[in-house]
Structure 1
Amino acid sequence: MSERITEEGTFNVTDEGQISLDQVKYVPPPPENSPYWLREGDILFNNTNSEELVGKVAYFNLRGKFVLSNHMTIIRVQEPQKISGVWLAFWLLLLWQRGFTQTLARRHVNQASISLARLDSIPIPLPPLDEQREIAHILQAVDEKIRAEESRRQALEALFKSLLHDLMTARRRLPKEFVARFGGEPAP
């Protein structure tokens, strides 16, 4: 059985820090003790890509067996009693969105990369754990609301296009009473 690995590491990490499975590549699974197996709670950090994409981050919370692309670094919280993984992922995402992680990148011909030493140098404020969890909970709720509204917008847009097509091709007609309110006569 093949396992999943991202085809192009960061194209599966959205600008909002979500993981998209739109592009996956099936590969032979590595040994069970391989460090490339992802675990729920891992933070995926894009260490190599174009300059604008290097430093993208996502919190890994998918079920199933996945392995890591070689353009990503796994960050695992070693002291969960001090730091929330979800909060840390949001913090690193904020640093990417503000362009901070790009300042750490070394530029190559058409790529940029952030070494483990530079990644380790990123300042991480540590509010109390309860506060970290509350911040993460609020941000997750906001993100969920945004996703729901985006889905609603897409559904309404598809409905509009469908109805417009039906009207333009005369598969659907407006009621005579509706047309009369605007002073027009309905077509025969």
Structure 2
Amino acid sequence: MANNNNTKNLNVPNLRFPEFKGEWEKYKVSDILEFFPTNSLSWDQLEYGTDNIYNLHYGLIHKGLPTQIELVNCSLPNIKKEFIPKNYTLCKDGDVAFADASEDTNDVGKVVEFLSCENKNIVCGLHTIHGRDKKNLTINGFKGYAFSSEIFRCQIRCLSQGTKIYSISPKNFKDISIGVPAKEEQSKIAALLRLLDYRIEAQNKIIEKYESLIKGLNEKLLINKKEYTTYQLSDICEIRSGYSGAQLTGTQGLMVSRIETISKHCINLDKVGYVKPFNSSADFKLHIGDILFSNINSVQYIGNTAFVDREYNLYHGMNLLRLIPHKTVEPFYIFLLLNTITYKSYFQSICNKAISQASINQTELGKTVIHIPDLSYQKQICLVYNSLYNKKSLENLYLQVLKQQKSYLLRQMFI
């Protein structure tokens, strides 16, 4: 690729295939796209697995769908028969759909492009903006990436409105511009990014295979055998609450908050924030080998655990399980055991299901019955799982590299 960082010509991207010359044309997005009305059907008016009209809900754009929608690889819900609207516009290959609302400005205007509708009837639904190239200036496959580029996203962020919920409307697109090269160049850009998306999809599947293997082994290797020794959790663990007075400030000191997206091997760093330093005792320090337990949360997150493999300060939103000095129990084995489906289901069954959030008190948690094998078997199991988690961590790191590469190309290949 040719690097154009030093060019004085503003209408070319920083990174470009060397065989292409000349400037890109810049257009207002409203001059390129024709917009169509969308429906406002909620999730309870949709279902999966029927032959009714497919419906693209904005929640799927935010989570789950790739930039390019191919129905052979993507699952869209159907509209329940009694809610099928009287008037609608069917999506065609090359159409785009933007999410018009989000709690995060980075996700407002997030886009998908229909690359292969497979002759199916698809409509755009709640909080989406349905657009179609009315001038035939773009090839199918280019628009999804162009509208995902950083320069386009910056314009969207500047125009999004709201306080807690940010939104855009079709009217905003008259104030947003996009660069469009010749169709041959569009085709090569789209092909490169699509290949990278395929590799990211493959990497996700590799990670899913490791997760599936770990879950399968959990129930086979860890769940109670008759010859195991039986304990209550309070017999082998000290159960502590975290400090509840810390406030997120962006200053010094690590804070671990509620565990939601669980990291199986160590604390999920995405859930770590910063707090003001305060005069705390050692009671709020996390030690290597501690186990964090999400005891106050939404029901689906109750019982999520994380194994601490470095030192932190513990603050709020969870319990800490610290092994009582015990020669016959491995802390990592306890973590593995509590992380099984069997125990997750148990914790969700005994929690107090309040309206806003569920909870488990320390007494009930301490009564949890666990079955522990001899120390040599525990160590063997821990070695196996450490190998699996380390391999999965490496695959996750490679996934992040692929995503960073795509992000770089989206910043450099568009204007």
Structures share fold, TM-score greater than 0.5:
yes
Distance in 1, matches of 2:372 and 2:403, equals: 43
Q: Secondary structure at the match of 1:150?
A: helix
Residue equivalent to 1:77: 323
Residue equivalent to 1:141: 387
Distance in 2, matches of 1:122 and 1:107, equals: 18
Task: Give the letter for the 1:4 counterpart.
Answer: L
Residue equivalent to 2:147: none
Q: Secondary structure at the match of 1:69?
A: coil
Are 1:58 and 2:317 counterparts? Answer: no
Distance in 2, matches of 1:26 and 1:9, equals: 15
Residue equivalent to 1:86: 332
Q: What is the RMSD of the two structures over their aligned residues, measured on CA atoms?
A: 2.8
Q: Which deviations, in whole Å up to 9, do the C-alpha atoms of 1:152-175 show, x marking residues without a partner?
A: 244345557867999x87xxxxxx
Residue equivalent to 2:288: 40
**Structure-2 change in CA distance of 1:76 and 1:95 (3 Å):** farther
Report the CA distance between 1:96 and its aligned residue. Answer: 7.0
Alpha carbons 1:40, 1:61 under 8 Å: kept: yes
Task: Give the letter for the 1:18 counterpart.
Answer: C
Alpha carbons 2:296, 2:358 under 8 Å: kept: yes
Residue equivalent to 1:5: 255
Residue equivalent to 2:233: none
Alpha carbons 1:55, 1:96 under 8 Å: kept: no
**Structure-2 change in CA distance of 1:97 and 1:143 (3 Å):** farther
Q: Point out where structure 1 has 5 or more consecutive residues left out of the alignment.
A: 170-188
Task: Give the letter for the 1:14 counterpart.
Answer: I
Distance in 2, matches of 1:86 and 1:4, equals: 23
Q: Secondary structure at the match of 2:372?
A: coil
Moved more, 113-122 or 97-106: 97-106
Distance in 1, matches of 2:324 and 2:395, equals: 35
Distance in 1, matches of 2:319 and 2:265, equals: 15
Q: TM-score, normalised by structure 2?
A: 0.35
Q: Secondary structure at the match of 1:125?
A: strand
Distance in 1, matches of 2:369 and 2:343, equals: 15
Are 1:104 and 2:350 counterparts? Answer: yes
Alpha carbons 1:44, 1:74 under 8 Å: kept: yes
Q: Which deviations, in whole Å up to 9, do the C-alpha atoms of 1:27-81 show, x marking residues without a partner?
A: 3233334x22211211111110111111111111113xx3223221111111431
Distance in 1, matches of 2:277 and 2:403, equals: 41
Q: Which has the larger radius of gyration?
A: 2
Identity of aligned residues (%): 23
Task: Give the letter for the 1:148 counterpart.
Answer: L
Q: Which deviations, in whole Å up to 9, do the C-alpha atoms of 1:119-152 show, x marking residues without a partner?
A: 1122211100111121112111101111212322
Distance in 2, matches of 1:86 and 1:36, equals: 20
**Structure-2 change in CA distance of 1:67 and 1:155 (3 Å):** closer
Residue equivalent to 1:119: 365
Q: TM-score, normalised by structure 1?
A: 0.73
Residue equivalent to 1:29: 278
Distance in 2, matches of 1:164 and 1:21, equals: 25
Q: Secondary structure at the match of 2:323?
A: coil
**Structure-2 change in CA distance of 1:26 and 1:162 (3 Å):** closer
Distance in 1, matches of 2:400 and 2:294, equals: 29
Are 1:19 and 2:283 counterparts? Answer: no
Q: Secondary structure at the match of 2:284?
A: coil
Residue equivalent to 1:182: none
Residue equivalent to 2:12: none
Distance in 2, matches of 1:152 and 1:2, equals: 30
Task: Give the letter for the 2:262 counterpart.
Answer: T
Alpha carbons 1:55, 1:101 under 8 Å: kept: yes
**Structure-2 change in CA distance of 1:17 and 1:114 (3 Å):** farther
Alpha carbons 2:304, 2:344 under 8 Å: kept: no
**Structure-2 change in CA distance of 1:17 and 1:108 (3 Å):** farther
Report the CA distance between 1:102 and its aligned residue. Answer: 0.9
**Structure-2 change in CA distance of 1:113 and 1:30 (3 Å):** farther
**Structure-2 change in CA distance of 1:116 and 1:98 (3 Å):** closer
